[in-house]
Structure formats: C-alpha cells, structure tokens
Structure 1
C-alpha cells in the first residue's frame, strides 16, 4: 500500500470549493504527468505554486492557499517514474503510440509526455504517477543550482483522503 502526504497549491476561493465538493482534474493537453489532480511532495513547492497563481492579474485579491491530503493506493496502481526501470517500461510501451503521433501531429515535448502518461495510465490502470522534475534556478547572488520538485498526479479521486487546509507558517 502506498500512502503519501501531498500538498496542493491553489487559491483560497478554489480551496473552499474543493473542501466542499472535490478537486477538479487538470486536463490540458500539456500536463506534466497526464490528466489528474496535482500535488507536490514538499509543502514549500505547493506554497510557491499557490503564490505564483495568486500573483496572476486575473487572480488579484485571491489569497494563496495550500491543501494537504493523504494519497493512498495499492502498490500496483502507483507508478514512480524516478525508477529507471519504470521509465524505460513506459517509454517502450508508448513507443508505437508515439511513432504514430510523430508524423501526424505537430506536438511539442509537453504534449507528447502528457499523451504517453495518459496512454500508460489507461493501459495499466495506473491511478497515481510520481516523478521528480529537475529545473535550473539561481540563488540570490546569481549562481545556478538544480532545483528538484517531486510531483504526484492522481487520476482517481478515491485515492485522495483527508483533505484539509494547511495553516500558514507562523500562525
């Protein structure tokens, strides 16, 4: 059994709607790990995302908020792409699909990744994907470093339990 504490960055208004009903699945064609509800493994990453969303002009006046949840599923429905074997299996299983897409569609890297994740989830009944995405950031004096964000994508609402607002630090 897999049990992960996940953190979801959002706006306060949306957090209240989630607490009163349920999450809305992200379903853009360029989602990082396919369609689903996205969580970070680290609270600080969810706080960063919530602040980023709150800073958008269309969200002016909305406060950033973080929700926590337990993500629970059976081992066979959890797929961790940080393991090379798992990544290679997904690539191999998706190869025919991806080769068929190459000549027919003008898809970017993010769209191809999204299609592959959705395909693999459907093929194997995967309910939860996890992967650590690296990115280059710079510290306050300009030195680059590799920042890592572990993301969790849940495409089955039954895997999301105990949703609650996280108290702001210091309160």
Structure 2
C-alpha cells in the first residue's frame, strides 16, 4: 500500500531530509513519526501549533511523503471496521485494568507509558486514526463536524519514502 501524507514543522534554515520523531507522553499513540493525511489539517497544525513566540522566523514548512507498507503492517482505525473495533477493545481493556488497579481513569500519559513499557503495536509499522475538528474552521456547514481529522503514526521509519518540502508558509 502507498499513502501520501503531510508533515508540518517550524521553518529552519536547513531543509529537513526526514521527519522529526515525536516523543513524549503528549503524543496520542506514543513515540513515532506523525503525519496528517489531508493537507488542510497539516496547514492548520502549522498555523495553530508551529506559529508561536518561540518561532523566530514566524514561518512553518509542510513536507510531503509517501508511506509504502504491507497491509499486515497497518492498523486502520478510520476506514477498516475490524481494525477500529479491535483498537477500541484494546484501549478499553487497558483502561479497565488500570482502573481496577488504581481506582481512577488513566490519562494519555498513563496510556503512553503502557504502550512503551509493554511494546504495544511494536510489530505494527503504521496506524491511521482520527479525531474530530474542534471548530467550524474546517467545515462548510457550521456546527456539523463531518470531516475526519486523520493522523498517521509511523512506527517504522523504513516505510517513509520521498520526503520533500512541499511549501513554506507565513504565520
């Protein structure tokens, strides 16, 4: 399979030749290379997350990549019903066990520690997942969030091909 995806970063004097590895417990699905499936959300990410006071240049870059992988290395929680229900089942199973042990709901940091400590999805090269746009900015019908804000987490960098600068935008 091949997916076209977009990676957004703060502008730097030297162009990236490979995406940055996102690390830390604030990542939705643990450490990995994160991409947007749709250019629109990649641009939104640049404007809302890469344009801040620390960004001296007041610019951000959107890179384009092709991700090439085998179907068995892919969890598609967006368009594959079986993958989606298995994904939800595993997350809720973790949450129930965590609650049983600690008498409270886990947070994202707890979940990411679990992913890391137990090698969850270590054999999976790529996961596609979504959340919903939180504002009317991305939809043409006010209050109707019909677009999926789709992200792709790559666990195995060998599937990232043809990573190149697409454009540089002002904040």
Q: TM-score higher than 0.5 here?
A: yes
Q: CA-to-partner distance for each residue in 1:61-103, whole Å, 9 max, x for gaps?
A: 2411100111111110011012332122234345554333223
The structure whose residues are more often helix, as a share, is 1
Aligned to 2:150: 150
- Counterparts of 1:107-122 in structure 2, within 5 Å, are 107-108=106-107, 110-111=108-109, 114=112, 119-122=119-122
The TM-score with structure 2 as length reference comes to 0.78
Gaps spanning 5+ residues in structure 2: where?
A: none
Residues 27 and 168 (structure 1 numbering): CA distance in 2 closer, same or farther, change over 3 Å? closer
Q: Specify the SS of the correspondent of 1:90.
A: helix
User: How many residues in Structure 1 have an aligned counterpart in Structure 2?
Assistant: 162
Gaps spanning 5+ residues in structure 1: where?
A: none
RMSD of aligned residue pairs (Cα, Å): 3.0
Q: Specify the SS of the correspondent of 1:151.
A: strand
CA contact (8 A) 1:128 1:155 kept: yes
Runs ≥4 residues deviating over 6 A: none
- Counterparts of 1:1-171 in structure 2, within 5 Å, are 2-13=1-12, 16=15, 18-19=16-17, 22-82=18-78, 83-94=80-91, 96-102=93-99, 103-104=101-102, 107-108=106-107, 110-111=108-109, 114=112, 119-122=119-122, 125-138=123-136, 143-146=142-145, 147-167=147-167
Residues 143 and 92 (structure 1 numbering): CA distance in 2 closer, same or farther, change over 3 Å? closer
